[in-house]
C-alpha cells in the first residue's frame, strides 16, 4: 500500500486548560472520502486547522505523501496541495464569482484567463455557475460552489470540507456529495469531510473517524457502520435516536419517531384551537442598505404549540428574530401579542408585551459579556410603557435592589443548573452552554406569553442541546407560544408541532408534523413555489 496522502501522528493541541486535540492520529488516503465525525467541540475543526496550518500543534507530526512536513500557515499548506472549504464563507459580496476565485493570487490579473479557468472547473466537476454573477445575488448553495471552486482551482491533492452542509438544503447537500464522489474517483484526491451529522457521513464517506472530547474514540469502514453505533461512539453513551436526532442529524430516525410520538404531542392547530397569542401580519422591512429583509411575512403562534420556522440561512430568520426583539422597525404590517400591538423597533416594546427571545447570537443581543451573571439574569426590566420615566424600573423604583437581584439570580442558577463560580462572576467566564442557560433562565423567568428561540442549540454540546430542547417543550406545555427559528432542519423536525418554511423574507409553506414530508419541505426551502400550491 502506498503511503497516505496525509498522515497526522500524535497531534496534541491545548487552549489553556482545554485539550482540543489529545494525541490524535489520522490518515487520509487517496481516492477516499474520510468522514470525521464528532459533536460540536470534539476537536474536529481544530485537527483540520492543524492540517491547513491555521493552528500550530503543541506536539505531533504531519507527513504529506510520506514526508514529514511543518505547516505553519495556509500558504504552506496550499503549496503542499492541501485545500480547505471553510464552514463560514469568506467571499466578497460585491465582487463577481471569478473575481472572488482569483482573490489573493499574486500573479498578474488576467480576467479572460480567470473566467476561462472558472468555466473549466465548473465544467469538470459539474459545478454549474456563471463566472460573472455577483456573489450578493447567489444563494447559499451557489456561494458554496464558489468556495469549492476557489479551493479546487489550485488542484489540491487533499480537500478538507468543514461542516459543508450547514447552510444547504437537503437537495443541495446531495449535489455536493456527488461532486465529492467525482473528485475522489476520477482524480484520486483525498477528501476529509468534517461533520456532526450521522446521515451524511454514512451516505457520503468511505471511512469514518469518530472523535470525542479531543480524542479519536473509534474508526470504522463506512460499510460496517450503522447509525446507532456511531451515535453511541460519538456521545459516549447510548442515545435514543429520537432525542439525539436533533443533535446528530439523523433525519430518517426522526421520521420514524414522529409517527410513534405523535399522540403525546397531540393537538396540532385545529381550526377550533385557541386564538393565537402572537400574530404577525404582512410584515415588511428593509435593512439599512435598502435590501428587503421581510417581504410580507405572516405568522400565527398559538399558546402551547411549538411552531418551527425552517429555512436555509439568510432568508429572513435574523430579521424575524430581530423584529420580535424590538430591534427592527417595520415599513408595513403589524405585530400583535395577545391584545397588545407593540410598536416594532421601539426599545423594549416586545419584551414589555411578553415576548421572550433566545437570540441566535446571544453575545450580540442576548447577554452582556462584561456584566456579571446576576446582572445578566435581570437585564430585562422594561420601564413602564406609558410613563416612560428614564430613571425608574418597571416597579417604579430608582434604586437597584441588589440584594433582591442576587437572591433572584441564585434561585435561577440553582433552578436552571447554571455552572458558574458565583452570581458575581463575569458572564464571559461561562461556557457557551451555560451562557445559553443564563439567557434561557432570564427569558423564561419573566413569565412570557411568547418564547422566540433562534438557533437555540447552535454551538452547544449534546447535553446542553437536550437540556434546551427539554426546556422548550416544557415552556410549550405550560402554555407559552413557542416560535423556534432554526436552520437545522433536524432540530425543527424534532421539536415543532407545526412547521412553516421561510424563503426570501416570507412564509412560503406550512405543514403539520403529522403530515411531514421531508422532500416537499426541501423543495419549499429551496424556493420551489409550485410545491406550496399543492
Partner 1 sequence: MTGVDAGAGAGDVRYDRAREGATVLGIYLTSIAVALVVAALVLLATGGSWTSVLSALLDGSVRGPGRWGTTIGVAIPLLLVALGTIVNARAGLVNLGQEGQLFVGAAFGTYVATHIGAGGPGVLFLIMLAGVAGGAIWAGIAAVLRYQRRMPEVLTTLLLVFVASQAVGYGLKNKNLLLDPTPDQANRNLISERLRPDTRLPRLDWFGNEFPMTAFVALLMAVLVALVLRWTIVGFRLQMLGRGPRTAHRAGVSEARYGGLALVASGAFCGLAGAFMLAGGDFGNYRLTPNYPVNIGWEGLLVALVARNHPLVSIPVAFVFAGLRTGSGFLAATGVDRDITKVVQALLVLALLVPPAVLFVRNRRRALAAAAERV
Q: Is 16 in the site for partner 1 (CB under 8 A)?
A: yes
- x/- mask, partner 1, residues 166-195, rule CB under 8 A, reads ------------------------------
Residue list 456-495, contact with partner 1 (CB under 8 A): 459
Q: Which residues contact 209 (CB under 8 A, 6 or more apart)?
A: 26, 34, 35, 36, 37, 216, 218, 219
Nearer to partner 1, 166 or 325 (CB): 325
Options 152-160, 233-241, 345-353, 488-496: segment touching partner 1 (CB under 8 A): 345-353
Task: Beginning with the edge strand found earlier in the chain, give each strand of the sheet holding 498-503 in spatial order.
Answer: 355-358, 450-454, 481-485, 306-310, 498-503, 506-512
Q: Is 46 in the site for partner 1 (CB under 8 A)?
A: yes
Q: Is 383 in the site for partner 1 (CB under 8 A)?
A: yes
Nearer to partner 1, 95 or 368 (CB): 368
Q: Is 393 in the site for partner 1 (CB under 8 A)?
A: yes
Nearer to partner 1, 261 or 429 (CB): 429
Options 38-46, 219-227, 267-275, 333-341: segment touching partner 1 (CB under 8 A): 38-46
Q: Which of 109, 260, 398, 533: binder of partner 1 (CB under 8 A)?
A: 398
Contact 481, 237 (CB under 8 A): no
Cell numbers 447552510 correspond to: 167
Q: Is 87 in the site for partner 1 (CB under 8 A)?
A: no
Nearer to partner 1, 260 or 395 (CB): 395
Contact 512, 520 (CB under 8 A): no
Burial string for 246-257 (b: 16+ CB within 10 Å, else e) reads bbbbbbebbeeb
Q: Is 25 in the site for partner 1 (CB under 8 A)?
A: no
Q: Which of 179, 217, 258, 392: binder of partner 1 (CB under 8 A)?
A: 392
Q: From the CB of 66, what's the least distance to partner 1, in Å?
A: 27
By C-alpha distance, which of 282, 288, 306 is closest to 505? 282
Separation in Å, CA 261 to CA 228, 250, 252, 274:
19, 16, 14, 23
CA 340 to chain centre: 32
Q: Is 56 in the site for partner 1 (CB under 8 A)?
A: yes
Q: From the CB of 331, what's the least distance to partner 1, in Å?
A: 19
By C-alpha distance, which of 417, 412, 413, 425 is closest to 470? 417
Q: Which residues contact 43 (CB under 8 A, 6 or more apart)?
A: 13, 20, 21, 22, 24, 211, 213, 214, 215
Q: From the CB of 42, what's the least distance to partner 1, in Å?
A: 10
Residue 243 phi, psi (nearest 5): -85, -25
Q: Is 17 in the site for partner 1 (CB under 8 A)?
A: yes
- 118: enclosing H helix or E strand: helix 111-125
Nearer to partner 1, 341 or 363 (CB): 363
DSSP 407-460: HHHHHHHHHTT---S-TTSBGGGS-HHHHHHHHHHHHHHT--SEEEEESTTTT-
Q: Is 14 in the site for partner 1 (CB under 8 A)?
A: yes
Q: Is 23 in the site for partner 1 (CB under 8 A)?
A: no
Q: Which of 32, 375, 491, 494: binder of partner 1 (CB under 8 A)?
A: 375
Nearer to partner 1, 124 or 346 (CB): 346
Nearer to partner 1, 17 or 112 (CB): 17
Which sign does the torsion angle of CA 385, 387, 392, 397 carry?
Answer: negative
Q: Which of 5, 55, 440, 500: binder of partner 1 (CB under 8 A)?
A: 55
DSSP 516-532: --HHHHHHHHTT-HHHH
Tally of CB atoms within 10 A around 25: 13
By C-alpha distance, which of 346, 334, 314, 347 is closest to 485? 314
Nearer to partner 1, 462 or 501 (CB): 462
Q: Which of 432, 504, 512, 520: binder of partner 1 (CB under 8 A)?
A: 432
By C-alpha distance, which of 156, 155, 173 is closest to 164? 173
Q: Is 18 in the site for partner 1 (CB under 8 A)?
A: yes
Q: From the CB of 288, what's the least distance to partner 1, in Å?
A: 10
Q: Which three cell numbers stand for residue 40?
A: 460540536
Tell me which residues touch partner 1 (CB under 8 A): 14-18, 20, 41, 43, 45-46, 54-56, 325-327, 347-352, 357, 363-371, 375, 379-383, 390-393, 397-400, 402, 421, 425-426, 428-432, 459
Amino acid at each position: 500500500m502506498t503511503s497516505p496522502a496525509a498522515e497526522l501522528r500524535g497531534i496534541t493541541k491545548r487552549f489553556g486548560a482545554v485539550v482540543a486535540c489529545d494525541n490524535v492520529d489520522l490518515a487520509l488516503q487517496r481516492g477516499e472520502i474520510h468522514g470525521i465525525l464528532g459533536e460540536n467541540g470534539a476537536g474536529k475543526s481544530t485537527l483540520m486547522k492543524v492540517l491547513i496550518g491555521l493552528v500550530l500543534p503543541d506536539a505531533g507530526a504531519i507527513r504529506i505523501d510520506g514526508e514529514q512536513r511543518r505547516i505553519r500557515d495556509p500558504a504552506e499548506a496550499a503549496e503542499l496541495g492541501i485545500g480547505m472549504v471553510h464552514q463560514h464563507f469568506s467571499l466578497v459580496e460585491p465582487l463577481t464569482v471569478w473575481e472572488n476565485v482569483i482573490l489573493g493570487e499574486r500573479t498578474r490579473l488576467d480576467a479572460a484567463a480567470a473566467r476561462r479557468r472558472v468555466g473549466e472547473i465548473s465544467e469538470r466537476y459539474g459545478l454549474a455557475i456563471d463566472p460573472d454573477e455577483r456573489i450578493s445575488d447567489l444563494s447559499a448553495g451557489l456561494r458554496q460552489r464558489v468556495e469549492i471552486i476557489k479551493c479546487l482551482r489550485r488542484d489540491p491533492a487533499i480537500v478538507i470540507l468543514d461542516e459543508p452542509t450547514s447552510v444547504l438544503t437537503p437537495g443541495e447537500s446531495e449535489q455536493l456529495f456527488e461532486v465529492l464522489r467525482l473528485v475522489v474517483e476520477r482524480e484520486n484526491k483525498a477528501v476529509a469531510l468534517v461533520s456532526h451529522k450521522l446521515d451524511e457521513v454514512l451516505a457520503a464517506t468511505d471511512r469514518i473517524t469518530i472523535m470525542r472530547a479531543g480524542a479519536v474514540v473509534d474508526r470504522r469502514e463506512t460499510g460496517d457502520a450503522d447509525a446507532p453505533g456511531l451515535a453511541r461512539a460519538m456521545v459516549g453513551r447510548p442515545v435514543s435516536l429520537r432525542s439525539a436526532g436533533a443533535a446528530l442529524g439523523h433525519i430518517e430516525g426522526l421520521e420514524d419517531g414522529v409517527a410513534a410520538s405523535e399522540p403525546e404531542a397531540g393537538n396540532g392547530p385545529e381550526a377550533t384551537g385557541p386564538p393565537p397569542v402572537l400574530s404577525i401580519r404582512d410584515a415588511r422591512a428593509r435593512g439599512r442598505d435598502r435590501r428587503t429583509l421581510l417581504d410580507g411575512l405572516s405568522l400565527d403562534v398559538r399558546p402551547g404549540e411549538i411552531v418551527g420556522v425552517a429555512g436555509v440561512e439568510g432568508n429572513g430568520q435574523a430579521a424575524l428574530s430581530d423584529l420580535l426583539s424590538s430591534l427592527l422597525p417595520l415599513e408595513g404590517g403589524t405585530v400583535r401579542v395577545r391584545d397588545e400591538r407593540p410598536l416594532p423597533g421601539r426599545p423594549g416594546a416586545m419584551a414589555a408585551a411578553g415576548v421572550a427571545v433566545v437570540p441566535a447570537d446571544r453575545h450580540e443581543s442576548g447577554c452582556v459579556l462584561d456584566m456579571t451573571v446576576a446582572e445578566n439574569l435581570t437585564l430585562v426590566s422594561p420601564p413602564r410603557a406609558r410613563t416612560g420615566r428614564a430613571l425608574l424600573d418597571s416597579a417604579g423604583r430608582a434604586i437597584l435592589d441588589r440584594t433582591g437581584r442576587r437572591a433572584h439570580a441564585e434561585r435561577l442558577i440553582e433552578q436552571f443548573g447554571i455552572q458558574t463560580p458565583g452570581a458575581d462572576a463575569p458572564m464571559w467566564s461561562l461556557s457557551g452552554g451555560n451562557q445559553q442557560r443564563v439567557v434561557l433562565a432570564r427569558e423564561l423567568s419573566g413569565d412570557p406569553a411568547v418564547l422566540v428561540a433562534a438557533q437555540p442549540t447552535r454551538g452547544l454540546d449534546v447535553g446542553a442541546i437536550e437540556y434546551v430542547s427539554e426546556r422548550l417543550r416544557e415552556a410549550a406545555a405550560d402554555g407559552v407560544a413557542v416560535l423556534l427559528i432554526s436552520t437545522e432542519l433536524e432540530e425543527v423536525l424534532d421539536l415543532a408541532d407545526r412547521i412553516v418554511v421561510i424563503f426570501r423574507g416570507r412564509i412560503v409553506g406550512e405543514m403539520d408534523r403529522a403530515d411531514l414530508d421531508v422532500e416537499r419541505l426541501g423543495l419549499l426551502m429551496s424556493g420551489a413555489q409550485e410545491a406550496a400550491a399543492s
